[in-house]
Structure 1
Amino acid sequence: MEATARNLGSNQLTSRFWRLDRRPQENIEDGCLSVQTETIAPLAEGQVLLRNIYLSLDATNRLWMEDIEEMYMPPVPLGAPMLGFTLAQVMESRNPAFKTGQLAMGLGHWSEYLVSDGTGLMPMDRPEGIPLPLAFGALAIAGPTAYFGLLDVGRPQPGSTVVVSAAAGAAGSCAAQIAKIKGCRVIGIAGGAEKCGWLKNEAGLDAVIDYKAEDVLAALKHHAPDGIDLLYENVGGDILDASLSHMKLGGTVVVCGLISTYNNGHLQGSGPRMFHNVIMKRLRIEGFVVLDYLARYGEAWAELIPWLREGRLKFRVDVVDGLDNAVDALRSMYTGANQGKLMVQIGSEP
C-alpha cells in the first residue's frame, strides 16, 4: 500500500500485517502466522505513524515465536503482530523526536504501517553513496552485532587466529571481515562451494572450511595448527564442538547465535559435548544480544559506514519482494538457502 497517510476518502488507513496465531513445534509450520488487516486510528499525542519499507529477517525471529524460559525479551503474544526490525518512513508525527518524511529504524511489526510512541525506534539518515537496502541491511542488525560482539565481547588482538561459524551469513560475514580489518588471521566456516568461494575471493578470509564437504575439526587443525584464539559462534551443535576441541589455552568464545538448535527443539537441551574444554583450556565464554547496544550504535556506524563506502567491508543483501512472502523467506534462512542478509521489501523507497 503506497497511499499517503489519511488520503483515503473515508479518512481511514488500513494496514496488512502478519499475526502470530500459534507457536511453532519445530519448523515454522503453516498456520503459525496469518495475514490480517487492521484500521489505523488517528494519532494520539506522542505517537508517530510509519510506513514500512524494509523488514529485516533474523534467525532470532524464530525464538520470539516461542514461549521460552529465560529469554532476553518476552515472546510475541499469541494474537499479536509478529515483531521484526524495520526501516520505515515517517508519514505523520505527533512526537517531536520524529519529523514527517524522515527515515526511522528499530523494532517494529511485520506490517505495512505501524503506529508507535517511538520506543525502540531511532531516526536514520540515508548514508551518502550507500544504497538504502545495503545501508539498512548492514547498519540495522548485522553490522552492529558483528562490531560489538567481536570488538567489545571478543576483544581480539592483531595477529589473533579468529574462527567464525556461519561466516557467509549477515553477521558472520561482517564479523569475519572486521577481524581482518583489525589485523587478525580469519578462518570462516560456511556451507557450500558458492558461499565458501565468496568468503575467500571477495571477503578476503585467510581460509574457509565447507562444513558440507569437509571434516570441520580436521580442517581447523590444518588451517590453525596452533589452535584458535577467538571463536565467534553463530551455529552451535557439532560445529561448535569441533571448534571447542581446538581452542588455545585461555581462548575466548563469543556466542552470537545457535541457529542449528532453533528449529529442532534442542535449545533448552544439553550443552555441547566438548564443554569440558572450558576448564581444560581455561576458556572465557560470553554471550551477548545486540539490543543491549542500541544506545551505542553511533560508535559502530562511525566505522562501518566508511568501510562500506571504501569497499573494505563487503556485504550481500538478499531482498525478497512483498510482505506476503515474509514467512517463506524466513523459513529459507534455516536451510541456508539465502545468500547474505535476508530482507523483505514491503514498500517503495522514498
Structure 2
Amino acid sequence: MSNNVKNNVKRANVLDLITNGSKPGGIAQHTHTSETSIYRLLKRMRKDGLLTSNNELTEHGTEHVKKFMAVSSDVKFNIKDNDIRLHNVQVTIKILHKPRGYDYRKNNMIAMKVRDYDLTNLNNNYKEQFKVNDVTVKTNIDSIELFPKDIYAETEQQASKRLMDIVFEVIKRIENLYHVTLIKDNYCNIRISRQHYALVRNQLAKLYRNEHKGSVFRVFDEGDGKVRLVVDISQGPEFEAEHPSKSPSDINKCQTFFKDIIDKEHDLPSDTKGMIHELALVSKNTIQRQENSLLIEQEYARNMKTHVKVMKGIEKSFNKFNTLLTQKKLKEWL
C-alpha cells in the first residue's frame, strides 16, 4: 500500500471516529499517534472540505470514507449499530518448554525478524517487546503476553473466534522465533486475563452522552464488586461489558436486549395497559367459571351421596320383602 493510500485510509478512519462521537484523545489512542497530530489532521480535513466546523461529514467527506475505509485493515467501514468491538485484550500463555539460556540471553536475532522491537534489562533476565501480525508481544521468564488490536464483529461469538485465530497464528510465529513450546494437546495453558466487549454506536450510550455530560454510568457486580457494564464515549458512544470473566455473557444479553427493542415492533404503554386489562377480565371470568363448575361438581357429589344412601335403603327393603315372600310360598307348598 502506497504512502498516499495509507494517509487517505488514516484520514478515513479519523473521519469515521470523529463523526461517531470519539474525542481527539481517544482517536489518538486508537490510531497510535499523538493528540496534537489528530488536532492538526482535523484542521486540515476541515480546510479540504471533508469535515464541517461541527465535526460532521460533508458530502465529499462521506465519499472519502466509503472509498478508503474499504481498503483499511481496521475493517470498520461496514459496522452497524450495536455490533461488537472486542478490545483491551490481554492473553497470557504459559511457556511449557524453553531452550537452555532462554532467561538470560540477549536475542538480537529477534529484532531483525519482528517490528517495533524493544529490550528491557531486568538484571537477571531480559524482557522483550515486539509486534507480530500487528499483535504486541511481551516476554516474561515463564510466560508470553499478547495484546491484539481491536476486533470488530457482528456477535460476541464471531469476535471471540477471530481472537483465537489471531492468538494461534501468533503462537506459531513465537514458537519458531524462540524455539519454545507454548501449546500442547490436552493441556490448557492459555488464559484471557482481560477482555472488554463494547456495543458500538449504542443508542443508550448516545442518550447518556448527550444528557449526562461529565457523569459516568457504571454497573458493579454484586459478588466481587468489579465493574460489569459501563457507558464509554472515548471511541464513540459505546455500551461496554468489561468484567474479567462475565463480559462475554453480559454483552450477549445486552446485544439481544437492544436489538429486540430496535428490530421488533412493540406496543405503546397505553396499548399494553389495555391488553393487560382485557387479559385480567378474561382471567377473572375464567376463574369464575371454574369456581361455578366446582360448586356444581360439589353439589352433584352431595346428591350422589344421598342417592346412594336411598338406593341402599331400597335394596335392603327389597331383600327383606323378597325373603318374606319366599317364606309365604314355602308354607303354601307345605
Same-fold call, TM cutoff 0.5: no
Larger radius of gyration: 2
Q: Going by fraction, where is strand more abundant, 1 or 2?
A: 1
TM range (shorter): under 0.3
Q: Going by fraction, where is helix more abundant, 1 or 2?
A: 2
